[in-house]
Amino acid sequence: MPNKGGTVVILVIGDIVGRPGRLAVGRFLPELRKQYGLDLVIANAENSAGGFGLTPTIADELQEMRVQVLTSGNHIWAQKEIIPYLDELPILRPFNYPPDVPGKGYLVSDGALVVNLMGRTFMNDIDCPFRAMDALLETVQPRPKVIIVDFHAEATSEKMAMGRYLDGRVSAVLGTHTHVGTIDAQIMPGGTAYVTDIGMTGPSDSIIGDEAESVIQRFLTGMPHRLSVGKGKPVLNAILVEVDEGSGQAVKIERICRYMEQS
């Protein structure tokens, strides 16, 4: 990473939903790179293929936009053709899936350790993310000072508990999965940057990225309704974190929200 007075600047983009989400990344990432001098760009791509999963073509497209690491979550298995690429490409699936599940849950990119974890409250009952993270921090080699965690979870309490549990041991714990950005971006007492949810990058006329009417029908009828990507102006939601390279502590956290002019 280039040294700018001993800090590195990292942008983490919230769940990219379908084509509108990819459009928003393409539209805003170049100017954000310039404006903030970004050293590392991470994006959660679990909904980037039509709202469900990620394909190799879309992974290439996002890499061409200079997203350096793709994280994911429960939807990573939705497009089967990505599975053979999970080992070789800079794509993460949650680390705390049971042993022998394809793919990897962490990698080092541009001097930073990036980890993807998934919560268990109101979600699949996978291995304990807290103990998984303890084990990883004890054993991982190399172990850079700068450590960024994408915590993909539903419950605000579980997310904040992870933030506090890792406070002082990692540089940032940033929530994904709910697609609803929260206003609690903060630096915790031990120096870990935290937000409960980054919010989604996708269509603004939607319910968490999906076309509103079909989601409402699901709630009204209790029956399955096919979901499609929503409409409206694409929005990019992201978190900017600046980290001291020497200590690994966060010195700044900022929410970024940009709407495209056209839908």
In the complex, the smallest distance separating the C-beta of residue 188 from Fe ion, rounded to whole angstroms, is: 24
In the complex, the smallest distance separating the C-beta of residue 113 from Fe ion, rounded to whole angstroms, is: 22
Residues 157 and 197: beta-carbon distance below 8 Å: no
Structure tokens at 238: 């992201």
In the complex, the smallest distance separating the C-beta of residue 73 from Fe ion, rounded to whole angstroms, is: 4
- Please enumerate in sequence order all residues whose Cβ is within 8 A of that of 214, keeping only pairs 6 or more positions apart, or say none: 225, 226, 227, 228
Partners of residue 194 on adjacent β-strands: 173, 186
C-alpha–C-alpha distance, residues 42 and 119, integer Å: 19
User: By C-beta, is 39 or 210 nearer to Fe ion?
Assistant: 210
User: By C-beta, is 111 or 232 nearer to Fe ion?
Assistant: 232
Structure tokens at 155: 């419950």
Q: Side chain identity at 241, as an amino acid letter? A: V
Please say if 152 is a catalytic residue.
no
- The catalytic position among 75, 152, 177, 179 is 75
In the complex, the smallest distance separating the C-beta of residue 256 from Fe ion, rounded to whole angstroms, is: 18
Structure tokens at 87: 């080992």
Q: Which residues of 184-222 are buried (b: 16+ CB within 10 A; e: fewer)?
A: ebebbeebbbbbbbbbbbbbbebbbbbbeeebeebeeee
Q: How wide is the angle at C-alpha 192 spanned by C-alphas 188 and 197, nearest 5°?
A: 85
User: By C-beta, is 119 or 248 nearer to Fe ion?
Assistant: 119
In the complex, the smallest distance separating the C-beta of residue 27 from Fe ion, rounded to whole angstroms, is: 20
Structure tokens at 179: 């697609």
Q: How wide is the angle at C-alpha 93 spanned by C-alphas 173 and 218, nearest 5°?
A: 90
Partners of residue 238 on adjacent β-strands: 13, 256
User: By C-beta, is 118 or 172 nearer to Fe ion?
Assistant: 118
The residue ranges that bind Fe ion (CB under 5 A) are 15, 46-47, 73-74, 177
C-alpha–C-alpha distance, residues 76 and 53, integer Å: 5
Which residues are known catalytic residues? 75
